[in-house]
Amino acid sequence: MSIAFNKQIVRRYFEEALDEGKVGLIEELFAEDCVIYRPESLKPILGLNGIRSIVLGVTERFSLFESRIHDIIAEGDRVVCRLSHFGTYKTRWTSRIGEHSVEGMKVQWDAIAIFRLKESKISEEWV
């Protein structure tokens, strides 16, 4: 597919699946055997159920969630995004050191995500 098409797939992941919680888009955007590498996970996140759990986790934890793409660059089968995420917690947060009351707290973090697409779907992501 074209570079513009690949960029649009990645935009839809952030803007529709993550930000709007449209879990049903996962099958359309991701390859069945996709592999996701994220800093908070010791092991790669595998398959559609793995990426579905990421999107569901966002909708469960945040009452508001927004991704802002600052730069999106593509070449061949790769798309790179520099972006910021903004969220407002709606539940308590559990970390390895305990449970924390964070309801209503606003958070922001920046990320760089690299995607590899295969047959018009995201097959790998590195955050």
Model confidence pLDDT, tens digit, residues 26-56: 999 999 999 999 998 899 999 999 999 999 9
Please give the mean pLDDT across all residues of the chain.
94
Rounded Cα distance, 77 and 102, in Å = 39
- Identify the band that residue 14 occupies on the pLDDT scale cut at 50, 70 and 90: very high
Residue 121 has pLDDT above 80, yes or no: yes
Domains of the chain: 3-126 (3.10.450.50)
Distance set, CA 22 to CA 4, 8, 25, 33, 95 (Å): 22, 16, 6, 20, 26
Residue 92, pLDDT score: 81
Burial of 5 per CB tally in 10 Å (0-12, 13-18, 19+): exposed
* Predicted TM-score (pTM) of this structure: 0.90
Q: Could you give the maximum distance between any two Cα atoms of the chain, in Å?
A: 46
- Identify the band that residue 58 occupies on the pLDDT scale cut at 50, 70 and 90: very high
